[in-house]
Amino acid sequence: MTQYILALDQGTTSSRAILFDHHGRICASAAQEFPQHYPQPGWVEHDPNEIWNSQLTVARKVLHELHVDSAHVRAIGIANQRETTVVWDRKSGEPIAPAIVWQDRRTADYCAQLRADGKAKLVADVTGLELDAYFSATKLKWLLDHVPGARERARHGALAFGTIDSWLVYKLTGRHVTDVSNAARTMLFNIHLMRWDQDMLDLFDIPEEMLPQVVSSSEEVGSTRDGLFGGAIPVAGIAGDQQAATFGQACHQPGMVKNTYGTGCFMLMHAGRHPVVSHNRLLSTVGWRVDGRTDYLLEGSVFMGGATVQWLRDGLGIIQHSSEVEALAASVPDSGGVYMVPAFVGLGAPHWDPYARGTIVGLTRGSHKGHIARAALEAIAFQSAELLAAMQKDAAIPLTELRADGGAARNDLLMQFQADLLGVPVVRPQVTETTALGAAYLAGLAVGFWDTQEEITAQWQCERRFLPQMGADQRATLLAQWARAVERSRSWETPA
């Protein structure tokens, strides 16, 4: 009987389920978008039940597609959008408010006040993170402060907090857990001692009673409830989406780097068995914990990657489908001097400017939608190039190649421009759904579906290498112009 690992890849705009076989091949896949809610400028919310229902729907769909039942599935692995914050009632299991999404900026002013009070170094020393509204702690504090009675209920243990992995595991199994990679993104977790940190809980006034139990990224944490899949399936792998993608890209050795081109762009370098302190405003974070061993990563985060293309579709209406952007961008030989800085929700690393806003500069009467589409794609690559420059300063390890994945990694024009900007090959793997693959690998290792990480590494295969073709002078000119464009987007909003 053929057996599979079911990966649940819960992303910012869609939920995906993929069945992988023992060779790491995709055997069935299904995805479903769910609504995005923008109640105020800078606010982004999800309905946790819409996330759960969409994830359950696609999981059942892939099982039906292959005509398999729960007996064919050895384990479930979960990869999830990180930092998005859910609070639910332990008795009813219902959320007490919409989930606050990682992109949400409503707590930017509060973070600015904490920085002014000198708290940024404490946060960075303990958690490895920037003091920013991106992370879960200030979102959770906001919910406790603004939902009537929430803080008191939390202190009495009536409420549960979790990132999306916790919410899905709870709905699947009834357990309240999170793995180390997701815990490390809350701004409440000590990445050196590998436990919830009392100083952080005190700083953000978070009751410890509402926190999930922290588990490894690869271990059985429970089995699915009756009625979900016809039989119990172990949930055995959990990782934040970018850590999962790094694992799925087989970046298991120090110095290896991958970039995921999803809603945002996330570049991660394997840093070894100890955290690397960043001096260039990158994040030091937990990668995964497997067999009692913790691996650390150095990370740079871009908030608007593929979401920039979605804006061209939904905001400007210059394309009907995201897949059309490459042809439109290729209709012109270059951007015609147009630069787009997609700081719609502020700028992430290495700038960390929540008050930046999106700009398009360099427009002339000759500019048209082809130039704007090209500038949008190039902006994704420019932002990623900034991350790599900062990363190489921190790690002092010369890059030999960049492994690329995510939906936009299928865009050849973008991948070639990225290689040109970096001056090193960009390598696209056979399986670009590496987030789901990483979750599957972590789950499979826990149940013996795969025996070792070396076995997993041997399965990784290159589909295409994009070699740099741009001269150094042209590269330097483009990067200098990009820097000028970024400066024009900085500090556009005035702090409240």
- Nearest CA among 471, 144, 417 for reference residue 261: 417
Contact 59, 8 (CB under 8 A): yes
Spatial separation of the C-alpha atoms in residues 139 and 84, rounded to whole Å = 8
Q: Please, what sign has the CA dihedral across residues 156, 161, 166, 171?
A: positive
Question: Torsion over CA of 60, 436, 77 and 283, rounded to 10 degrees?
Answer: -140
**Secondary structure letter of residue 408 according to DSSP:** G
- Nearest CA among 217, 261, 255 for reference residue 236: 217
The residue whose two tokens read 């180390």 is 180
Spatial separation of the C-alpha atoms in residues 66 and 251, rounded to whole Å = 31
Residue 83, annotated as binding a ligand: yes
Contact 224, 173 (CB under 8 A): yes
Burial of 2 (0-12, 13-18, 19+ CB in 10 A): exposed
Residue 242, annotated as binding a ligand: yes
Q: What is the 3-state secondary structure (H, E, C) of 159-228?
A: EEEECHHHHHHHHHHCCCEEEHHHHCCCCCEECCCCEECHHHHHHHCCCHHHCCEEECCEEEEEECCCCC
The residue whose two tokens read 């790690």 is 395
The residue whose two tokens read 């200098």 is 480
Spatial separation of the C-alpha atoms in residues 247 and 453, rounded to whole Å = 9
Residue 81 phi/psi, 5-degree rounding, is -55, 135
- Nearest CA among 256, 214, 220 for reference residue 445: 220
Residue 263, annotated as binding a ligand: yes
Spatial separation of the C-alpha atoms in residues 149 and 260, rounded to whole Å = 40
Residue 134, annotated as binding a ligand: yes
Please confirm whether the linkage preceding 350 is cis (ω < 30° from 0): yes
What residues does 45 pair with on adjacent strands? 37, 100
Give me the helix-helix angle, 120-127 and 108-116, nearest 10°.
Answer: 100
Residue 13, annotated as binding a ligand: yes
- Nearest CA among 323, 296, 294, 356 for reference residue 132: 356
- Nearest CA among 236, 213, 225 for reference residue 75: 236
Residue ranges for the known binding site for glycerol are 82-83, 134, 241-242
Q: Which residues are annotated as a binding site for ADP?
A: 12, 16, 263, 306, 407, 411
Annotated binding site for ATP, which residues? 12-14, 263, 306, 310, 407
- Which residues fall in the annotated binding site for sn-glycerol 3-phosphate? 12, 82-83, 134, 241
Residue numbers in the known binding site are 12-14, 16, 82-83, 134, 241-242, 263, 306, 310, 407, 411
